[in-house]
Amino acid sequence: MFRLSPLVAVSFALLCFSCEKAEETLEKPKEAQASEKAEPKPAPKPPAEPVFWSELKLHEAIREKNPGYSGNGQFQIDESGQVLGVALDNCGMTDLTVFEGMALRALYLQGCPVPDVKPLAGMPMVELYLENTVVKDLSPLKGMTELRKLYLSGTMVEDLSPLEGLAITELNLVNTPVTDLSALKGMPLSMLWLTDTPVRDISPLSASPLVSLTLHRTPVTDLSPLAKTNLQRLHIGDTDVTDLSPLGGLRLTRLVFDPADIKNGIEAVKKIPTLREVGTKFEDGANDLKPPAVFWGGGEKPASSQRPGARQPGPRLPGPRIENLPPSAKPAPKPAESEGEKAEPEAEKAKAAPADGGE
């Protein structure tokens, strides 16, 4: 009698079993096969409930991420416990991850050694103050459509391209390595500070609704891009500008410049009917602004360039400058100041840099 070897027998048995399974699969309805293949979908996770923040809880959270935190932060928290504004000037902040998931509208970080602003990406930020931080990269600000005020004085920011298309109205670039303003083309800027920057070309500003511009100690020489703007206050002291004729058609109220350097356009400037203040300096402790008649000669010099009772620049407080917040979170407005009493933003917002005459 013929006998199969054990190995052949096992192989034959496996082959038969496979054939039987194949027949069973063919006989099953397609719906059954599909149900076997389909895996049950996991139930969606419920949305995380927002944290109800208190000042104490926020101080603790900041200190946990920032051991060097001074504890002097100031906050605006609405009735639902959501943080809207944070002021941490010179408070030792380095890590902003504590703010991830928040919807901050205003953040003040002047003098903090913050290296980057990645945790702020996507926030509905309206005001952001990064003066004298170590921030270099602005790419996390890309797409911040609500951003209106950005202060970068004393930083190493050089590339402004992430700001392209934003609706910023106030931009402070004092003492930064910025050279190219092309990203600002068409931006609705009303106030711009460029003191001590290597900027030469201001042509991208020609379509902006500028009211105040400071070009103090820049290599700018050509003012023609300003000829069709609404500019009212201009500081071109310590520049290489020699021609003021592009300013002839403007409604300037203040002009700071170096008369000895001007070769053309002096007469055009003298005819500006709106001009109220002219000088060669507009910095902390060195304001020599005079009425045009006095500056050009022939007028009576006022007893003092400081109006009696004028308010001196004081420490910056976060609340009064935060705009576009819900009414419940807004502080009460201050009484309106007169033009002569209005403090120069450079003195308040960038104490490391002198106050310039753009504003």
Residue 28's pLDDT band, with cuts at 50, 70 and 90, is: low
332's CB contacts (< 8 A; 6+ apart) are: none
> How far apart are alpha carbons 19 and 25 in whole angstroms?
10
In degrees and rounded to multiples of 5, residue 99 shows phi and psi of -90, 0
pLDDT (mean) for 111-117: 96
What's residue 288's pLDDT? 92
What's residue 36's pLDDT? 54
> How far apart are alpha carbons 133 and 130 in whole angstroms?
6
Please name the residue that has the structure tokens 């290489």. Answer: 240
Structure tokens given for 151: 């202060």
Indicate the range of 59-63, 267-271, 313-317, 323-327 predicted with least confidence. 313-317
Strand partners, 87: 74, 108
**Mean pLDDT computed over every residue of the chain:** 81
Residue 297's pLDDT band, with cuts at 50, 70 and 90, is: confident
Is residue 8 over pLDDT 50? no
Among 201, 206, 259, 245, smallest CA distance to 229 is for 206
Structure tokens given for 116: 């980057």
Query: Which amino acid makes up residue 326?
Result: P
Per residue, what are the HEC states of the chain?
CCCCCHHHHHHHHHHHHHHHHHHHHHHCCHHHHHHHHCCCCCCCCCCCCCCCCCHHHHHHHHHHHCCCCCCCCEEEECCCCCEEEEECCCCCCCCCHHHCCCCCCEEECCCCCCCCCHHHCCCCCCEEECCCCCCCCCHHHCCCCCCCEEECCCCCCCCCHHHCCCCCCEEECCCCCCCCCHHHCCCCCCEEECCCCCCCCCHHHCCCCCCEEECCCCCCCCCHHHCCCCCCEEECCCCCCCECHHHCCCCCCEEECCHHHCCECHHHHHCCCCCCEEECCCCCCCCCCECHHHHHCCCCCCCCCCCCCCCCCCCCCCHHHCCCCCHHHCCCCCCCCCHHHCCCHHHHHCCCCCCCCCC
pLDDT (mean) for 46-51: 70
8 A C-beta contact, residue 120 and residue 99:
yes
Is residue 315 over pLDDT 50? no
Give the predicted TM-score (pTM) of the model. 0.75
Complete domains list, the chain, with CATH: 50-138 (no CATH), 155-300+346-359 (3.80.10.10)
What's residue 350's pLDDT? 40
8 A C-beta contact, residue 253 and residue 277:
yes
What's residue 34's pLDDT? 52
